Structure 1
Amino acid sequence: MDGQKRNYLAGTPSGALERRSAIISLGPLEVLVRITHSGVCGTDAHDRTANCGLGHEGVGLVERIGSEVTAVHVGQRVGCSFQTHSCGCCPECITGYRHYCHRSVGQKYGAEEHGTFCDYAVRHQDYVNPIPDALESKHAAPLVCAGITVYEALLAANTQSRDRVGVFGLGGLGHLAVMYAKAMGCAVSVFSGSAAKEEDAKKLGADEFHVVNKMKKAPAVHNVNVLILCGGDITDIGLFIPLLARRGRIVPVVIQTKPLKIPYMEFILPGHQLISSLGATRENEQEALRFAARHNLQPWTQEFPMTEAGLTSAFAALDDGSIRYRAVLSKELGNEFSV
């Protein structure tokens, strides 16, 4: 980034976009993306009062590029996720794990940053990812963050096709975890607090479905090699130990502030592992999108117009839990944000 503070969020009247585009200055390695779609994530709902630009699952067309940009070209379709830059020289950055950089900046944590509920977004060329032609933009948007997150989690657990993958929580993240794990050749078990989701789980490719009361121990299936925790407010890892095969790997991908309780001997003796994974390497970001295109993975989306009213409706649907399973704002359904 060139260090300038920018905020090109909602508020561009229809017909003024070209004028706005012309006056936005770009650094030599920056890209101007005209947003056409943006996923609406649960994190956005949590951050509505956080004084930051919302939206981190943007897809759009490159409209202009800086003088030294080589990674993308004008007219190319790209995705913009939560991270916008890192230091580039620490051990995490040089080994590919820039999302763990101590100077990593995302949509919430820097004054320079803006989201993707907007007409235009400015990104460094290293923080946009090409969208494969086979992916529709309404499907690509949730994959830019949620899809990448579960794909990285599966890789972090060294998931193999011979493994049984358990997915706890069949929501926006969980339904994508089922898709990716099944496409990797794994057997998939879904654990949900809602019996009503069994039909959805089977349509997504799950081999087994179990109803779990989070206040009690899970059913003793003892056959899950990799367990991806996608449900919210997880406080006791002991609840999930009955699900695990020996040397089971647990990967939480939920955002929460509550601490985790881990029963020591019950966890250590079978050789279980708790693996942290959040975000993805640049390589895996792009591979997750290519993998989805190769296997025709299509998130279950509900589209809303990219307008103030559309965003209000999307947040309301997120709040009442009626989204099955990702909300997407679309310029194809409505005009640009207006004041």
Structure 2
Amino acid sequence: MDGEKRNYLAGTPSGALERRSATIALGPLEVLVRITHSGVCGTDAHDRTANCGLGHEGVGLVERIGSAVTAVEAGARQVLTTAQSCGHCAECIAGYRHYCHRSVGQKYGAEEHGTFCDYAVRHQDYVNPIPDTLESKHAAPLVCAGITVYEALLAANTQSRDRVGVFGLGGLGHLAVMYARAMGCAVSVFSGSADKKEDASQLGADEFHVVNKTSKPPAVNNVNVLLLCGGDITDIGLFLPLLARRARIVPVVIQTKPLTIPYMEFILPGHRLISSLGATRENEQEALRFAARHSLQPWIQEYPFTEAGLTSAFAALDDGAIRYRAVLSKELGNAFSV
């Protein structure tokens, strides 16, 4: 697609791009977006040495559109999505373009676009409108973390009668609590430490339990849907005492370590393990509309859209000090433009 030829836009954040904005060539179906905010995700921290454009939670204003664009108007606020796909395979036709065999998003550490920049070019099918009541700074984390947990809840066929368990109260986990609670579910938070109990309560969870390798897991036996939002999960057996019969488990973290599943203890109660990463375009847009409809606001820490601001955000991520998503904002400053 045309967007695959525009990698330099993401890889070179520079004031020169802003000065040249009027002369940046667009394909017939491409749009030029002036970035105003970008979330800083843990994946960005992992990819700092991957030789790719960083940033995939971009929000901005459409400055110009290609000659054949019909889905987007100039001046509209949009969020930018990252995956490229063929558009013709069975997965793409069904709406699951993030599972396309040609999707760049399938290559861990190889996001093809970035949003730590002034401008980005996207095909019109890879931007999504932002509801009027949703602030741009809150929309940014929803582009990745929000749509990921929203899609996971749908993949597990979550119903309002379910109790949703969330393991790991971080960037993904805190949004999972928000979405599940807004869906009418009871919510239990399971964390490796006790210091997030008050946060879990403020987010709407009605139960909080400490679960780690050194403590005996609580035998609550009431969780119907369990989202694994913490890092380096290697043993499903740790979570089995938490589950109701026929529970659905959805890992939503990226890791390279293998996952061990106790066979009979998992099979006999009828549990299911469901893979889910990313979202269909329909659910990308619905996740934004759902957040606006229920006034969901990610807990964010804002940083200036500068080199120093990005450095500070990365340092806080490395230290585990973000509660719970970092967002670069040009309203606080921008050194990438002149």
* Structures share fold, TM-score greater than 0.5: yes
CA contact (8 A) 2:14 2:117 kept: no
Aligned 1:11-22 pairs, distance under 5 A: 16-22=16-22
After superposing the two structures, state which structure 1 stretch, 274-283 or 14-23, moved more.
14-23
The offset of 1:336, in angstroms, is 3.9
Segments of 4+ moved more than 6 angstroms: 10-15, 107-112
Classify 1:3/1:169 alpha carbon distance in 2 versus 1 (closer, same or farther; 3 Å): closer
Classify 1:11/1:49 alpha carbon distance in 2 versus 1 (closer, same or farther; 3 Å): closer
Q: Structure 1 CA distance, aligned partners of 2:274 and 2:332?
A: 40
The offset of 1:10, in angstroms, is 6.9
Q: 1:260 — aligned with what?
A: 259
CA contact (8 A) 1:53 1:107 kept: no
Secondary structure of 2:198's aligned partner: helix
Q: Deviations over 1:252-273 (max 9, x none)?
A: 0000001100011000000000
Tell me the TM-score normalized by structure 1: 0.94
Classify 1:17/1:104 alpha carbon distance in 2 versus 1 (closer, same or farther; 3 Å): closer
Q: Structure 2 CA distance, aligned partners of 1:161 and 1:44?
A: 34
Q: Structure 1 CA distance, aligned partners of 2:327 and 2:306?
A: 12
Secondary structure of 1:85's aligned partner: coil
CA contact (8 A) 1:165 1:187 kept: yes
Q: 2:196 — aligned with what?
A: 197
CA contact (8 A) 1:36 1:60 kept: yes
The offset of 1:106, in angstroms, is 3.4
Classify 1:13/1:118 alpha carbon distance in 2 versus 1 (closer, same or farther; 3 Å): closer
Classify 1:54/1:112 alpha carbon distance in 2 versus 1 (closer, same or farther; 3 Å): closer
Q: Deviations over 1:27-51 (max 9, x none)?
A: 1111111000000000100010111
CA contact (8 A) 1:50 1:108 kept: no
Classify 1:264/1:304 alpha carbon distance in 2 versus 1 (closer, same or farther; 3 Å): same
Q: Deviations over 1:296-321 (max 9, x none)?
A: 00000000001100000000000011
Classify 1:99/1:15 alpha carbon distance in 2 versus 1 (closer, same or farther; 3 Å): closer
Q: Structure 2 CA distance, aligned partners of 1:12 and 1:107?
A: 23
CA contact (8 A) 1:227 1:250 kept: yes
Q: Deviations over 1:136-185 (max 9, x none)?
A: 01100000110000000000000000000000000000000000000000
After superposing the two structures, state which structure 1 stretch, 267-276 or 106-115, moved more.
106-115
CA contact (8 A) 1:33 1:64 kept: yes
Identical-pair percentage? 90
CA contact (8 A) 2:15 2:337 kept: no
Secondary structure of 2:5's aligned partner: coil
Unaligned runs of 5+ in 1: 78-83
Aligned 1:302-317 pairs, distance under 5 A: 302-317=301-316
Q: Deviations over 1:226-264 (max 9, x none)?
A: 000000000001110100000000000000001100011
Classify 1:17/1:140 alpha carbon distance in 2 versus 1 (closer, same or farther; 3 Å): same
CA contact (8 A) 1:34 1:119 kept: yes
The offset of 1:95, in angstroms, is 0.6
CA contact (8 A) 1:307 1:335 kept: yes
Q: Structure 1 CA distance, aligned partners of 2:275 and 2:111?
A: 28
CA contact (8 A) 1:96 1:281 kept: yes
Classify 1:110/1:215 alpha carbon distance in 2 versus 1 (closer, same or farther; 3 Å): closer
Classify 1:313/1:112 alpha carbon distance in 2 versus 1 (closer, same or farther; 3 Å): closer
Q: Structure 2 CA distance, aligned partners of 1:280 and 1:227?
A: 18
CA contact (8 A) 1:6 1:112 kept: no
Classify 1:180/1:3 alpha carbon distance in 2 versus 1 (closer, same or farther; 3 Å): closer
Q: Structure 1 CA distance, aligned partners of 2:107 and 2:335?
A: 23
Structure 1 residue 177 and structure 2 residue 176: aligned? yes
Q: Structure 1 CA distance, aligned partners of 2:248 and 2:111?
A: 37
Q: Structure 1 CA distance, aligned partners of 2:332 and 2:9?
A: 19
Classify 1:244/1:23 alpha carbon distance in 2 versus 1 (closer, same or farther; 3 Å): same
Tell me the TM-score normalized by structure 2: 0.94
Classify 1:114/1:169 alpha carbon distance in 2 versus 1 (closer, same or farther; 3 Å): same
Q: Deviations over 1:82-121 (max 9, x none)?
A: xx42011111000111110000123967989320011011
The offset of 1:337, in angstroms, is 1.4
Unaligned runs of 5+ in 2: 78-82
- CA RMSD in angstroms comes to 2.0
CA contact (8 A) 2:29 2:123 kept: yes
Q: Structure 1 CA distance, aligned partners of 2:257 and 2:315?
A: 25
The offset of 1:17, in angstroms, is 4.9
Classify 1:280/1:10 alpha carbon distance in 2 versus 1 (closer, same or farther; 3 Å): closer
CA contact (8 A) 1:166 1:190 kept: yes
Q: Structure 1 CA distance, aligned partners of 2:294 and 2:61?
A: 24
